[in-house]
Amino acid sequence: MTELTLVQAVNRGLQEAMRQDPDVLLLGEDIGVNGGVFRATEGLYKEFGAERVIDTPLSETGIVGAAIGMALYGLKPVAEIQFMDFIYPAFDQIVSELAKLRYRSGGQYPCHVVVRAPYGGGVKGGLYHSQSTEAFFCHTPGLKVVIPSTPADAKGLLLTAIHDEDPVMFFEPKRIYRSVSGEVPEGDHRVPFGEVRLVREGTDVSVFAYGAMIPPAVEAADSLARDGISAEVVDLRSLVPLDERAVVASVEKTGRAVVVHEAARFCGFGAELSAILAEQAFYSLKAPIARVTGYDTPFPYALENLYLPNAEKIEAAARSAVRAG
């Protein structure tokens, strides 16, 4: 085990995959000599060279399009988009081509592509560097979508993604890149998709979150516990495929649900989760499902802390659910 920050764990996962398999390569803006805008690829250019750590032009369409072509020839490219906010020029390549190639070819071309992108607020990035639009990609059949919240999961989910036969959108919560650290297994450590991580067991209310929302969810649970309210914190981490069975089982036990994400509320991932719970756990619910989310506005700069969900908002939602039932 090695103590790493989340961004260091991403770096270690990329290094491990590239050492294991010569078909794994990286491409993106400034990822080579510069090591990427957040230094997630630092040192990899020196170890693997310019043919496997490729500095690209400033063209997200070109980055993803090139990655698709590489994958069709049997390579396993990992494409970095500097910020999720910059991914939209490549949207057509992702949803119209990448997501459909395996289906379109009858399984002949699995298209091993991972698209990495830091997402979310908390770093004073303003409206062009703080977006959380994971729901766009969750809505697209053919894509898998994962978001780690711990260093161990960052490495483990990334290695699973790189070796998966389907294209994977791998979103990294930049807010906790360096503020969260933990022990990370050495070697080929993989975390399976479609399984939640039970962060904290509880009996009174279930709090579902992912990425940078896990630390405030845990903080809220700690505060609730001081008043005798037992909150279960569930890290979804794999949005597609989703561990529906574990989500439903948690609510069947607690009878209450609070869903947390920093993305805008309307049609966010919490809406889908709420629908699943309404369909599959309705008779277990003792209170309405609560959502703690960002607002339906562009991401603000000066009011960033007001926009983002925090422990106080999560705690208030949980207390309201407990009082209601």
Report pLDDT for 160.
98
β-bridge mates for residue 76, sequence order: 24
- The mean per-residue pLDDT over the stretch 194-205 comes to 98
Give me the percent of the chain exceeding a pLDDT of 70.
100
**Own/partner long-range contacts of 245-248 (Cβ < 8 Å, ≥24 apart):** 246/195, 246/196, 246/198, 247/196, 247/208, 247/273, 247/276, 247/277, 248/276, 248/277, 248/280, 248/281
Give me the number of domains the chain comprises: 2
- Same domain membership, residue 203 and residue 83: no
- Same domain membership, residue 253 and residue 139: no
Say if 189 falls within a structural domain.
Answer: no
Report pLDDT for 325.
73
Report pLDDT for 294.
97
- Same domain membership, residue 159 and residue 34: yes
- Same domain membership, residue 263 and residue 212: yes
Give me the percent of the chain exceeding a pLDDT of 90.
98
pLDDT class of 168 with cuts at 50, 70, 90: very high
- The mean per-residue pLDDT over the stretch 146-173 comes to 97
Say if 118 falls within a structural domain.
Answer: yes
Report pLDDT for 314.
98
- Same domain membership, residue 151 and residue 27: yes
- The mean per-residue pLDDT over the stretch 109-118 comes to 94
Query: What is the pairing mode between strands 197-200 and 168-173?
Result: unpaired
Q: Are 94 and 115 in contact (CB under 8 A)?
A: yes
Q: pLDDT tens digits, residue range 267-278?
A: 999 999 999 999
Report pLDDT for 1.
81
Q: Phi, psi (5° rounding) for residue 308?
A: -75, 140
Residue where a domain terminates, one of 136, 161, 184: 184
Report pLDDT for 50.
96
The domain of 217 spans 197-324
Looking at every residue in the chain, the average pLDDT score rounds to 97
Say if 191 falls within a structural domain.
Answer: no
- Same domain membership, residue 164 and residue 227: no
Q: pLDDT tens digits, residue range 22-53?
A: 999 999 999 999 999 999 999 999 999 999 99
User: Helix crossing, 244-254 with 269-280: angle to 10°?
Assistant: 60
- Same domain membership, residue 108 and residue 238: no
Say if 192 falls within a structural domain.
Answer: no
Report pLDDT for 224.
98
Task: Give dist(CA 289, CA 295) in Å, integer.
Answer: 18
CATH number (domain holding residue 30)? 3.40.50.970
- Same domain membership, residue 100 and residue 44: yes
- Same domain membership, residue 209 and residue 281: yes
Q: Select from 172, 147, 134, 132 the least CA-distant residue to 308.
A: 132
- Same domain membership, residue 312 and residue 274: yes
Residue where a domain terminates, one of 135, 163, 184: 184
Catalytic residue list: 129
Residue where a domain terminates, one of 184, 209, 230: 184
Q: Select from 143, 174, 149, 131 the least CA-distant residue to 268.
A: 131
Report pLDDT for 109.
87
Task: Give dist(CA 133, CA 192) in Å, integer.
Answer: 23
- Same domain membership, residue 162 and residue 298: no
What is the DSSP code (8-state) at residue 90? G
β-bridge mates for residue 260, sequence order: 292
